[in-house]
Amino acid sequence: VQLQASGGGLVQAGGSLRLSCTASGRTFSSYRMGWFRQAPGKEREFVAAINWSGESTYYADSVKGRFTISRDNAKNTVYLQMNSLKPEDTAVYYCARRKPGSYYVTVSSYDYWGQGTQVTVSS
């Protein structure tokens, strides 16, 4: 499984970005997916997760109401729409595939990771 994240960039506070994560393989529709982020000097933290169908989504409290995770199984892609961005959202954002039966919040629940895409929010 290979994951390719894209869409990061520099944006002013209050702006928006949409991240994309495209996966290889023919069984993407069965993957549970998540987004994490890591700021300099900090541990990687959970941002959002989505189940295989897209019907169930989960968010960190810090992004709830501002970020939306979605997926297009026909395109093997999961998205993270980020609105009302704040300087504290600045980080490298990673997409990952979650192992079956594991808890969506923890880093160790994910077995394949994309390379990360930088998001920088200026004040």
Give the tens place of pLDDT for each residue, 30-61.
899 999 999 999 999 999 999 999 999 999 99
Q: Round to the nearest angstrom and report the end-to-end CA distance of the chain.
A: 37
Distance CA 22, CA 77 (A): 4
CB neighbour list of residue 119: distance below 8 Å, 6 or more residues apart: 8, 9, 11, 17, 19, 37, 82, 85, 89, 90, 91, 92, 93
Query: Other C-beta atoms within 10 Å of 65: how many?
Result: 9
Split at pLDDT 50, 70, 90, the class of 25 is confident
pLDDT at 101: 87
